[in-house]
Structure 1
Amino acid sequence: MSLTDTKIRSLKYIPESRYKNWYSDGNGLYLVVEKTKKVWRLRYKLKEWKTHKPFTIGEYPYMSLAEARKKAIELKSLVQKGIDLQKWKKQKELEKERLQNRKRVSDLVEEDLDIQKQNVSESRFKKNYVGTFNNYVIPFIGEKFIEDVTKQDILNLIKEVPKIKLKNDTRSVNKTYKAKEVLHILRDLFEFGIDNDYLDYNPAYNIKIDRILPQHKEQHISALLDIDDLRELYKKILNIENPITSKIIQFQALTILRNGNIRNLRWEYINWEKKRYYLSKRSNESYT
């Protein structure tokens, strides 16, 4: 006879664990009453087997009678297809574990940054790695699982990079230099994922920036050629409130040195007697 909820509730737990009572509900489904619990199980048998095997479905009352019957029908359909329920369960558990351990792009970035932090200077690490990831990568694909990132995702991201204008960034937004940098850092990121067996494919591989973004044309600042304009500019330099800034710009205006030459200039490069300065200690090129 089929089981009922009333009958199941009335079944007493077996006081000694070495004894078990089981009660059939039909179609291979039965209830096992143990020392402290009542467990649903299903008897099943593949065509090539000689005997049946038990398969645990759930525990009563967490799985009701109606739910156990419905689950038994679903499992029976798998058995009819030649599927061993024990192997099927193990596969499901492995799949569940894999899904729980799936990494998002933001997770991979965090791991990669832990490595990069040890290999570069602190300033470069913050600007070229942390800053680049936070400003150009995480907002677009940070929440995606790494194995779900496609080449099209990378293409869409790269096309957006030149349009991004960051706070306190004085450079033109329509440059491709940052897009190239972001693409390079993404290639390294996914290679890091491959090296650590997180994925098998690098979606940033084999993408050519020049094929998806127009080449940037340099536009130089116009030179001041009129003497009156030069005088006006020099007056403004003399009126700069910060004396250090004013002297530096005066020096640059009078010597016509590039920024890099000024930054690297040393006192020993200057010949006070001849009133000349040299670009380096060994330089033969001098300026009055």
Structure 2
Amino acid sequence: MAKLRSIDISKLPDGFHADENGLYLFVRGNSRTWVYRVTVYGKRIKRGLGSAKTISLAQTRQKVLDIKTNGVKEVTHGKKFKDFYLDVVEHTAKIKQWKNPKSKSQWTNTIETYAVPYIGNKLVSRITRDDIRGIIEPIYTTKTETASRLIGRLKAVFDYAQVCGLHSGHNPAVWVGNLDLFFAPKAKVAKVKHPTSIGGALSWKTTCIVF
């Protein structure tokens, strides 16, 4: 596998680009971040090592050697979720170059309404799949579309947290092979109307049924 070259760092396209010893350069738009990825006792750990704009390739390689020498430790520090997710929304808006100002407010409002009350005071590093399930379960059959969008937005938050080194292991908000083992597919959650009698007249009540 060819190593990265310093002269190519600013030219590489979006994605993960391998160097050596588990070191990768993660590129998304104008953002370039060093990431160390390794599997320890069957658990995949991803650690952000800083921006390529401020830390050179040589310095990052030395960081990786230090980690390999001293061992990989679990992340036990970092920000609380309520202090972190707004940074991610701002970063995502900049990278994706959202033109509609409503996009940022929709992301913010959805996470603030449904996720912050549950995990706002938890360290990002300590949030698990069970925490995400606790957020989604109360609204999945009644507000399925909102729940689906929330899952996607939380996944983006934890993707960024992992690149920044604030969360290790699997992304707790990933759908495939993770949350989809506990929730029915969105297309299978159908709304069925039932007639009810109120004052001698028929009205309709909507019930969500999961097939």
More strand by share: 2
**Alignment TM-score, normalising by the size of structure 1:** 0.35
More helix by share: 1
**Which has more radius of gyration?**
1
Q: Identify which of structures 1 and 2 has the higher relative contact order when contacts are C-alpha pairs closer than 8 Å and 6+ apart.
A: 2
**Alignment TM-score, normalising by the size of structure 2:** 0.47
